[in-house]
Amino acid sequence: MSFSDMKQRSKTNLASLIKETEKISNPNTFGEVDDRYWRPELDKSGNGYAIVRFFPAPEGEDLPWARIWNHGFQGPGGWYIENSLTTLGQKDPVSEHNSTLWNSGIEANKEVARKQKRRLNYTSNVFILKDPAHPENEGQIKLYRFGKKIFDKINDLMNPEFEDESPVNPFDLWVGANFKMKIRKVEGYSNYDKSEFEAPSALLEDEARLEEIWKSENSLKELVSEDKFKSFDELKTKLERVLGLGSEFSPTPKSVDVPFDGGKPYTAPPKPAVESTNDGDESMDYFQKLAQEA
């Protein structure tokens, strides 16, 4: 799709995006740390502020966001922080193990499954309009990873609840809206509730510059390509190491000789002797990102 085609389809793009949000509403580990990614920096009080513009789908791609499911939890054998194969519509060992725990009917096992459940994140291209902590980022396109709260604000703008409100496509370059991030620390966590979209407006009047920026976007399809995910067997091996499991995903040992006595909660075995890994650094990065995201 050319730049001129995108402008002509500006109004129809909103309808197609609304359909995609309806699919989501009704039913990579985090991306590698590199200079393509951006996030607002918080001050010592845990507050942050920035203004960005969400960009439309990159050239040759259909959607302005990528959806990625992932898991992040600690076991006796270290940290498990990986993208979930369910992102690709495939079976994932953590989901299978969690199903076994849940279906055991034992509340303690269900609680373990809850702590290990998958988490949904979105990634979009954003144009940074204001970044007080790092003004050198202003005027650049970056990848921005965000969670459900910010996606809900996007969805609410495209699907307003009241009849006196008009739907707005925040990803549109001409009739979209800038997003003001207002981040506060609430009960120890970053809170985005006060963040809001401005009134609809064109990002720039210079269309040649708009096209130049649009063509500089990062690919989103690349983030969910199969080579960004480990295989089922690789993930299963890591899960078994982290949780200290055997070759079968069973929360309690099976025995044909001992009658069922009501079940016992799953208790992970002692931490096995394993070679040193970088899971510590990986987990720290995960929770640093977790604290920054809605």
What is the β-pairing status of strands 179-186 and 196-197? antiparallel
What is the β-pairing status of strands 189-191 and 196-197? unpaired
Using CA atoms, how far apart are residues 54 and 171, in angstroms rounded to an integer?
A: 5
Could you tell me the residue range of the domain that residue 254 belongs to?
Answer: 3-292
- Going residue by residue through the chain (294 aa), what tens digit of pLDDT does each one get? 677 777 777 766 776 666 666 545 444 334 446 799 999 999 999 999 999 999 999 999 999 999 999 999 999 999 999 999 999 999 999 999 999 999 999 999 999 999 999 999 999 999 999 999 999 999 999 999 999 999 999 999 999 999 999 999 999 999 999 999 999 999 988 999 999 999 999 999 999 999 999 999 999 999 999 999 999 999 999 999 999 986 555 444 333 333 333 444 445 544 443 333 343 334 334 444 444 444
**Can you read off the two tokens belonging to residue 255?**
């025995």
Q: Which of 258, 21, 49 is nearest to 159 (CA)?
A: 21
Number of domains in the chain: 1
**Can you read off the two tokens belonging to residue 273?**
């002797």
User: What CATH number is associated with residue 8?
Assistant: 3.90.198.10
DSSP 201-246: --S-S-HHHHHHHHHTPPPSGGGGSGGGS--HHHHHHHHHHHHT--
Task: Report the predicted TM-score, pTM, of the whole model to 2 decimal places.
Answer: 0.74
CB 78 within 8 A of CB 273: no
